[in-house]
Structure 1
Amino acid sequence: MLHNIHFLEGQPIIPELIARGVIHQMFPLHEQRILNQLMTSWVQAVCERQPLDDICDYFGVKIGMYFAWLGFYTNSMLYPAVIGFLLWILAEDDQTSQDICCVVFALFNVVWATLFLERWKRREAELAYRWGTLDTPAESLEEPRPQFRGVRRCSPITGCEEFYYPAWKRAMFRWLVSLPVCLLCLCFVFLAMLLCLQLQVFVGHHCLPC
């Protein structure tokens, strides 16, 4: 069957050979020198950054991205761990104090989860761009939406004409409009939860049978 290999030009050779029965099993051989380097710089290293580029070069992009996410997630979990420990210390024995700490920790988790997802998207895009696996999104090839407001200018990156909206105007709207509205909504939710907890305590104390 080996005389048919010359017909495989332009096709994935290994899957075709497996399909034809020429190859039954295969496994890649490890490079011991690189494994020893990874053992020193990655496995045996303590409190050091992961050599993600070396991991990607040896194991591939999928494995490299997995360990990048694992390290990012582990580092991000330090924030809720510290805040939760501090709230556990500050909480008193009474039920009201414990309920307040639980509500504060729940609100913190909501904010933390949102920031975690957004930061990981940026980190993932950075690694994908570095490793050459970043797909060009279809939105970047489309024309700006008709409702977009801005002035025409020559892009300093691509050299093409584009609509530009000043960054300071975005920041002003974000800090003077979006942030106060979000804080007001969070305060409203916080007060509503405290009211529900107080109502629960009131009903529990006054509606129990004698």
Structure 2
Amino acid sequence: MSLLHVDIKKAGYDENKPVICDISFSIDSGELVGLIGPNGAGKSTSIKTILGLMEYVEGKVEFREGIKYSYVPERPIFYDELTLWEHLDFVSAVEKLDDNKFKARATELLELFKLSDHAHKLPVTFSKGMQQKAMLILALIANPSIYIIDEPFIGLDPHAMKLFLTFLERERERGAGILMSTHVLDTAEKICDRFLQVNNGRLTAQGNLTDIRKQCGLPHGSLFDCFHLIAEGSYK
């Protein structure tokens, strides 16, 4: 069974006004799937539906029994009065992590992302880039089976981006599955196994780059080229 199976018939904030329709896909162990599409296409609604945050949903979202997932939102969210270490400690308590393993992993991640000196400071006072790195650390700390990541590259400097991609590859080798929404298409083309393109609330193209090229009639096109052709609806 897949780590995650999604079959959304309709979903939205109002039963009579669905935002997304007919979106179906699965994510397997070790797979990185890119969720792409223009602003307002339905990517965020798709993610919210997977997370169980939409008011009206017709269809089903099934995680493999017993697995846990981590979610990294586009806009970092923190408790105002908790330090970064207290956030990490909170995640450890919720996930019932072994204390020694938690401390070793937290220390490693803080050092790698160059936030060790800020561990006992409030993340709400961090720069946007630092906040994004803190959110990534919070996601990585629990070793989940599924990562759901929304626009992870916003605010990251080149070093942090390379480090994050290295960790994603390591997590895939461990068997984790990843659903990543992004507008950074050149990077997505290099690292994703498959793509899901959403337009006007519907899944309009999916598959690996070769599949997407065939659907567009661009045998040598880049993901960027295919993206715009599909978004314009001129490939059919």
TM > 0.5 fold call:
no
Q: Which has the higher helix share?
A: 1
Report 1 or 2 for greater relative contact order, CA contacts < 8 Å, sequence distance ≥ 6. Answer: 2
What TM-score comes out, normalization by structure 2 length?
Answer: 0.22
In terms of fraction of residues, the more strand-rich structure is: 2
TM-score by length of 1: 0.24
Whichever of the two has the greater Rg, that structure is 1
